[in-house]
């Protein structure tokens, strides 16, 4: 049995774009898909482990927000950034049919179709960040600038600025 990590669709797309990244496996718990658990498994600060959320806007339809694991997307700010009046989280049952990814394995690179994508602006302060590689138990470690290029993302204010 080979111990080689299977490349995901997201990793293959990064290869095609000649973007440098690292595939980092971790032990996932299907009962605990929280970013905190991922950060703990990776031994990395939660501020550098990002989660990918899919939302539906009242004007533009689906769009993607990527925020730090210790933050929540602010629906009003996300709506504003994406040109909507209102936005809501996409129901879980609609995630796989729309993106090709499951909860805990959703990433902004290589979805079934491209949706407008917004990265939380504080991501830019890090040299590298972690995001799902497109499957549970595997993260991509790469530069936020390279990730934004691959996901055709815009940096925006999409989380509350003051964390309570």
CATH 1.10.8.100 for domain 21-156, yes or no, is no
Low-confidence ranges of the chain (pLDDT < 50): 1-2, 163-164
The whole-model pTM stands at 0.94
Domain locations along the chain: 21-156
Chain CA centroid to CA 113, Å: 15
pLDDT of residue 66: 98
From the list 79, 54, 49, the residue with the least C-alpha distance to 65 is 54
Residue 121 has phi, psi (to 5 degrees) of -60, -25
pLDDT at res. 1 = 41
Q: CA 139, CA 131: separation in Å to the nearest integer?
A: 5
Q: Residue 148 in contact with residue 119, Cβ under 8 Å?
A: yes
Residue 5: its pLDDT value, please? 80
Written as one string, the DSSP assignment of 1-42 is ---PPPPPHHHHHHHHTT---EEEE---BTTB--HHHHHHHH
What's residue 38's pLDDT?
96
């Amino acid at each position: 049995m080979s111990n080689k990590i299977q490349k995901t669709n997201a990793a293959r797309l990064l290869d095609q774009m000649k973007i440098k990244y690292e595939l980092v496996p971790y032990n996932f718990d299907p009962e605990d898909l929280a970013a905190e658990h991922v950060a703990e498994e990776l031994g990395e600060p939660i501020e550098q482990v990002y989660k990918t959320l899919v939302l539906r806007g009242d004007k533009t339809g689906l769009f993607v927000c990527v925020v730090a694991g210790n933050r929540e997307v602010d629906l009003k700010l996300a709506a504003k950034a994406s040109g909507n009046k209102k936005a809501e989280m996409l129901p879980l049952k609609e995630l796989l049919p729309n993106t090709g990814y499951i909860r805990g394995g959703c990433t902004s690179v290589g979805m079934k179709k491209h949706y407008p994508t917004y990265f939380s602006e504080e991501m830019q302060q890090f040299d590298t960040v972690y995001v799902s590689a497109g499957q549970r138990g595997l993260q991509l470690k790469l530069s936020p600038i390279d990730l934004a290029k691959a996901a055709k993302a815009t940096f925006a204010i999409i989380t509350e600025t003051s964390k309570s």
